Chain A
Amino acid sequence: DAGITQSPRHKVTETGTPVTLRCHQTENHRYMYWYRQDPGHGLRLIHYSYGVKDTDKGEVSDGYSVSRSKTEDFLLTLESATSSQTSVYFCAISESGGGSYNEQFFGPGTRLTVL
């Protein structure tokens, strides 16, 4: 498996609290992604990064922000968590974007429950 870790692996929080999820890679890959996975919806892209300090929105970015200050770390922040953000969050990395024929490697996931 590629060197990708996510922390925490499990988190329970209350509505209205801020939450930060961390993704750390040791592969020196340029691209990093945050997805959420919900039953019936598959994998949906939240935000992605194509370099340090370079980020862009995905299809479900409302209520989420990201930061990438180092190549190896990509943070996902829920400023004020809501119950609709209860999900499994996956981080992924790739050497380049999907148009350049490179596969994505996924982290183990973070299960977030917002009460």
Chain B
Amino acid sequence: GQQVMQIPQYQHVQEGEDFTTYCNSSTTLSNIQWYKQRPGGHPVFLIQLVKSGEVKKQKRLTFQFGEAKKNSSLHITATQTTDVGTYFCAGPRYSGNTPLVFGKGTRLSVIA
């Protein structure tokens, strides 16, 4: 079945530095979603990418979907302490109406 790998597992940055997490799938994805989980909280949906090569921005966050629809990235410009948390990517387990399979996440720590 579908596997989604995410790197790095942990990232520590100084406030103001940039951060990037990468997501790679073993198969082509119909779409990919990104979630953020604050410490002690629950995952919260950030965005969904559908088209090959798609790029979407949310303020300081930039999301990309690869041309082959097998990889994705999340880039945060000039991190802030509010960016602390774990970022997960997720893609459909199989084609059609199926559950998502989540990557193991990248935990971001921001040092003020």
Size of the B side of the interface (Cβ < 8 Å), in residues, is 29
Q: Is the CB of A42 within 8 A of B42?
A: no
8 Å CB contact of A99 from B30, B35, B42: B30
Question: Do A42 and B99 form a contact, CB below 8 Å, given A103-B33, A104-B45, A107-B42?
Answer: no
Q: Is the CB of B99 within 8 A of A97?
A: yes
Cβ contacts under 8 Å, B96 to chain A? 97, 99
In the bound complex, CA of A109 to CA of B43 (Å) = 10
Smallest Cβ-Cβ distance to A100: which chain B residue: B97
Q: How many A-B contacts at CB < 8 Å in the complex?
A: 72
Q: Give chain B's interface secondary structure class.
A: loop
Q: Is the CB of B42 within 8 A of A108?
A: yes
Binding site for B on A (CB under 8 A): 31, 33, 35, 40-45, 48, 50, 58-59, 90, 92, 96-101, 103-109
Binding site for A on B (CB under 8 A): 1, 6, 30-31, 33, 35, 42-45, 48, 50, 88, 90-105
Task: Please name 17 further chain A to chain B contacts, defined as beta carbons within 8 Å, in addition to the given A50-B97, A96-B97, A106-B42, sorted by A numbering.
Answer: A35-B102, A41-B104, A42-B102, A45-B99, A45-B101, A59-B101, A90-B43, A92-B43, A97-B92, A98-B97, A98-B100, A101-B30, A101-B48, A101-B50, A104-B45, A105-B45, A106-B43
Provide 20 A-B residue pairs closer than 8 Å at the C-beta atoms, listed in order of the A residue.
A31-B99, A35-B102, A42-B88, A43-B102, A43-B105, A59-B101, A90-B42, A96-B97, A97-B96, A97-B97, A97-B99, A98-B31, A98-B90, A98-B92, A98-B98, A99-B30, A99-B92, A99-B96, A104-B35, A109-B42
